[in-house]
Amino acid sequence: MRKFLRALLVVMATALPLARAAAQEPARVEVDIVNTASGQRGAPTVKSVRIFSDREIREMLHSGFPARLHYRLELWGASGFFDDLKRQLEWDVIVRYNPLKRRYTATRIEGEKVTALGSFDGLDPIEAELSQATQPALAVPDGHDKYYYNLVLDVQMISVSDLDEVERWLKGDLGPAVHGAKNPGTAIGQGAKIFITKLLGGQDKHYEARSKVFRPR
């Protein structure tokens, strides 16, 4: 019995630091390089981890303030004396809480493409969705030059003065656009008006990550 208890204490002593480390895992973004099934070399994969770990952001979301996650993926050339920005791709994820339904919704916007990521009972499932590696459609030029990717994420809480417009946008124009009944450009245009208005700067979060240098061929 004593041997069993001693072994149990050893297991617990080992497991607790690991659990504590996992709980304190910092928020971050990651960008890596893969070869696609179609043969493209140096394709990017991106993901964001524990983006809603900040207590104040979680509380503001739960209080009805929508969050805008603005991603920017940049392709830089590294073959010259100075690095050179070659291409970039931007997209947004809008996360908001409906207190009546007690549900969170997440919507991805890229150019004129609008995708409803789903309805969730908490922020943890949304974080799990965002932490899955995805492959943005950012093509690499042919040749033997050297490149690397830089991924930028800005998390912003939309101000109180914008809440009515967000409500009309997400429940009005966005619904038909998601289902293909309306040109999503209308929803995107209204969304752009929201994003250039005042935001709660005190809660803004900025993350960056850079890939290793690679050659497409």
Give the pLDDT confidence of 122-165 residue by residue, as tens digits: 999 999 999 999 999 888 887 778 999 999 999 988 765 565 66
Domain boundaries, the chain: 26-210
Could you identify the residue written with the tokens 């009515």? Answer: 164
- The lowest-confidence range among 6-15, 128-137, 197-206 is 6-15
**Is 16 in contact with 22 (CB distance < 8 Å)?**
no
CB 74 within 8 A of CB 209: no
SS3 for 156? strand
Q: What pLDDT digit, counting tens, does each position of 36-56 carry?
A: 666 667 889 999 999 999 888
Average per-residue pLDDT for the chain? 77
**Of 7-16, 130-139, 191-200, which gets the smallest average pLDDT?**
191-200
| pLDDT the model gives residue 217 | 73
Give this prediction's pTM: 0.74
C-alpha to C-alpha distance for 156 and 154, rounded to whole angstroms: 6
Cα separation, 124 vs 95, whole angstroms? 12
* CB-CB contact of 163 with 64 (8 Å): yes
Q: What are the tokens at 111?
A: 């150019």
Residue 83 has pLDDT above 70, yes or no: yes
